[in-house]
Amino acid sequence: MDFSLNDEQRMLDETVSRVIREQYGFEQRRGFAGEPGGFSAANWSLFAELGLLAIPFAEENGGFGGGGAEVMIVQRAFGRGLVLEPYLAAVVLAGGLVERLGSPEQRERLLSPLLAGKSRLALAWGEPEGRYDHRTVTTRAERDGDGYRLSGHKAVVLHGDSADRLLVTARTAGGPADRDGLSVFVVDPAQPGVGVRGYATIDGLRAAEVRLDGVHVGADARLGPEGGAADALDAVMAAGCAALCAEAVGAMEAACELTLDYLKTRRQFGAPIGRFQALQHRMVDMRIALEQAHSMAILAACSLNLPAAERDRRIAAAKVVIGNSGRFVAEQAIQLHGGMGMTDEAMVSHLAKRLVLIDHHLGDADFHLGRFAASGDDDLRTDKLVPASRFSHSLRGSGR
């Protein structure tokens, strides 16, 4: 049992934290948000130069072979700075899916430019009727010559309007909620029949509705076996949830720091408002929520290589705790800032929006509570939550 970072992880933490501290101030961030795509192309290139985009990929794919712990370090720092760049969408979700499903040729073609910061991918998994379930897919992929013809509507595709390639989940067989029959296709958003309607999200990012109207793609656009993408999608969603948990922890830390600072400096009734016990206890409750969230982000990051059922049980639990504590910290941070917390000018309001809306990415607390509750009636063993050594080799944060 060791919760400390190793030397490489510590260096990574220092590097990415310094970048956020020095080059991602809140005022600078406003500028980044105004650029095309809603984030800074220069930052994206910088992240590529620093190797951040290569962290979670295997060495054979040009990556550094990092695991949950390394992504947690990056995402936590990004959460502190409210980073706008599409790390989750392009690297963790879409890149992760390419790595899991792609042939060597596809991996080379898609990952090399991604890792170099020259290409941006997005994962179009959601649908208007699917809510948070990535297996509910009605978008069809029908055989068309030696390729496929795709039709359907993909919903709230994170950074879908700035991606040069979309990874689209579509059904090659089965009914809307079947596990079998799910396939993934690479789609060029510029090709005929693809309609992308981009928009801002209230948490400061960008997303898109993507309509596919008989879009023809070649057979080489399919990632992985026809109809057999469900396991890889499950794994990528789990990794995405873990990354979101870490980001939320960073945002909660920043919100707690700003709020504590405000309590110590804002004066009313002749004293700093942090003297008042009612406010102290709220602040303490925020801090306790942050610690519980941090614990679960660690658990999530260290559980990605477990067998799928146990991995998903823990990820669901983590996302529930993160959703609840993130919303709690957000609401309290606004409340303790009083009127200032209501303004667009204050960073805390932007942290609060991101924290509340993280719960709407990849499944909210209710969705994951349902998954957790359905995850089996096996009795609670004392060593259940942190299982014994049979998992130890795969649980180490660094290995994939």
Question: Is residue 323 within 8 Å of residue 354, measured between CB atoms?
Answer: no
Q: Answer yes or no whether residue 287 interacts with other proteins by CB under 8 A.
A: yes
- Please state, in angstroms and rounded to a whole number, the distance separating the CA atoms of residues 188 and 163: 9
How far the first Cα of the chain sits from its last, in Å, is: 19
Site for other proteins in 375-394 (CB under 8 A): 377, 379-383, 385-389, 391-392
Answer yes or no whether residue 263 interacts with other proteins by CB under 8 A. Answer: yes
Q: How far is the CB of 204 from other proteins (least distance, A)?
A: 27
State in angstroms the smallest separation of the CB of 347 from other proteins.
20
Least distance CB 373 / other proteins (angstroms)? 4
Identify whether the C-beta of residue 246 lies closer than 8 Å to the C-beta of residue 290: no
Give CA–CA dist 393/389, Å, rounded: 8
CB of residue 273 vs other proteins: minimum separation in angstroms?
Answer: 10
Q: Say whether residue 293 binds other proteins (CB under 8 A).
A: yes
* Residue 268 touches other proteins, criterion: CB under 8 A: no
Out of 281, 309, 338, 343, name the contact with other proteins by CB under 8 A.
281
Contact pick of 140, 216, 275, 400 for other proteins (by CB under 8 A): 275
DSSP for 304-356, written as a single string: TTS-HHHHHHHHHHHHHHHHHHHHHHHHHHHHHHGGGGG-SSSHHHHHHHHHH
**369 makes contact with other proteins (CB under 8 A):** yes
DSSP-derived letter for residue 208 is E
Measured from the CB of residue 74, what is the shortest distance to other proteins in angstroms?
A: 14
Contact between 16 and other proteins per CB under 8 A: no
Can residue 2 be called a binding residue for other proteins (CB under 8 A)?
Answer: yes
Q: Which of 361, 146, 341 is nearest to 237 (CA)?
A: 361
Q: How far is the CB of 367 from other proteins (least distance, A)?
A: 12
Q: Could you say whether residue 212 binds other proteins (CB under 8 A)? A: no
Residue 297 CA to residue 312 CA, distance in Å, equals 14
Helix (H, G, I), strand (E, B) or coil at 84: coil
Determine if 395 is a binding residue for other proteins (CB under 8 A): yes
